[in-house]
Structure 1
Amino acid sequence: MPRPRSLTAHQLASAALAVLDRDGLAALSMRAVAQELGISTMGLYRYVQDREDLERLVVERVLSDVDTGLPDPGTSWRDQIEVMARRLRDTVGAHPEVIPLSVVHRHHSPAGLRWSETVLAVLTEAGFEGERRVIALRALLGFLIGAIQLEHLGPLAGPGTTAITELPPSDFPHMTATARTARRMDADREFLGGLRLLLDGLDA
């Protein structure tokens, strides 16, 4: 019998990511990833213990593509935070099925921790400390996770917004008016507008 081939963590994560991108989060399983790799399910257990291990690998695989270097220190702290936010959104947004997993496993991801470390360095240099710094980081993470999910699962250009515009204006005057405006907005304007409102609040 030929000796089983050795697989790297990158190969395992890439196979799991291929399953997620193609078939969705519900399809991620040991069997599906083994098939993607062309090995038996039992063979996959030589490398990972269970689906949770696969989830951690794929989160690290995606987040490792995020540039975590410190943005230009000659710019304002707000501009630096915007750069960090764009980097995370662009990378994770390319694999929206990974977003829920990144929430669960971010504490186990060295790449995710490096992103947060850089954001905290920017905030610290800007004078944030103690509870204010904690709240600022959590608010940024909460906005980014929610904004990326909304962009891909409920985009303004999608049928949900159209359906709201067709509600009876007498019952939902503000919803219908807002939806009509929303249909004219693109994803970048929505994302950056929300981020800048958040930064206005942090800057107050």
Structure 2
Amino acid sequence: MPRPRSLSADQLVGAALAVVDRDGLSALTMRAVARELGVATMGLYRYVADRQALEVLVVDHVFRSVDLDLPDGPWQDKIRVLLDRVRVAVARHPGLVPLVLRHRQAAPSSLRLIETMLAVLTDAGLSGTDRVVAQRTLVGYLLGFLQNEHFAALSGPGTIVLSELPADEYPLLARTATDARAVPPDEEFRRGLGIVLRGLTAT
């Protein structure tokens, strides 16, 4: 019997991404990835222990694609560049957003990204609990935005429904939803992050 062909981590990730991009996150199974690669399902267990390990491998790939070499300039600009690069990396495979939230602390490349962010905050003069809160606030904004952008976009049907609510009963909600439909994702991200950074600067 011929020996099963060797697979690289990049091949495993590529197959998993192909499944998610085509069929959605719910379709990501060991069997589906094996089928994508043209190998027996049990053969995958030579490379990853289970689906969770495969998910971590995929999330690590996403974070590894983020360029951590930041330009010179004010610390706020460095944070803007870094978080926007993460946003762009995730947007290439939006179906992975739940996995990014679930495994961000298990992926080695995510840890390097956080270390880079902490270095920027340290250079800005933050330390101790101030640095803890600043880092957690920035990550919270980023993760919340990713969920909004890909599962509750301002251009999506939810905003349309809200904008059509009866104005006599929900005047502010209906008006705000109508205004929201004119805000593109890039502007929403930039302006929201600006609010967060101004708050961090003030503290």
Normalising by structure 1, we get a TM-score of 0.95
**Root mean square deviation, CA, Å:** 1.0
Distance 1:161 1:128 in 2: 38
1:136 equivalent in structure 2: 134
Moved over 3 A (4+): none
C-alpha separation in 1, matches of 2:108 and 2:139: 16
Counterpart of 1:65 in structure 2 is 65
- TM superposition shift of 1:122: 0.7
Which residue type is aligned with residue 144 of structure 1?
L
Question: For 1:103 and 1:163, how far apart are their aligned partners in 2?
Answer: 27
Displacement of 1:72 in angstroms is 2.1
Q: Distance in 2 between matches of 1:134 and 1:93?
A: 27
Report how far residue 143 of structure 1 moved: 0.7
Task: Kindly indicate whether the alpha-carbon contact (under 8 Å) linking 1:64 and 1:111 is maintained by their aligned counterparts in 2.
Answer: yes
Name which of structure 1's ranges 120-129 and 43-52 shifts more when overlaid on structure 2: 43-52
Counterpart check, 1:79 vs 2:77:
yes
Count of aligned residue pairs for this structure pair: 202
Q: Deviations over 1:80-104 (max 9, x none)?
A: 1100011100101211121211222
Q: Helix, strand or coil: the match of 1:66?
A: coil
Query: Could you say which residue in structure 2 is the equivalent of 1:186?
Result: 184
Q: Quick one: distance in 1 between partners of 2:123 and 2:86?
A: 21
How many percent identity over aligned positions?
A: 53
TM-score for the superposition, normalised by structure 2: 0.96
1:3-32 CA-partner distances (Å, limit 9, x unpaired): 210001111111111111111111111111
Distance 2:172 2:36 in 1: 48
Q: Does the residue aligned with 1:80 lie in a helix, a strand or coil?
A: helix
Any stretches of 5+ residues in structure 1 without a counterpart?
A: none
Q: CA deviation at 1:108?
A: 2.0
| Paired letter, 1:142 | G
For 1:5 and 1:54, how far apart are their aligned partners in 2? 18
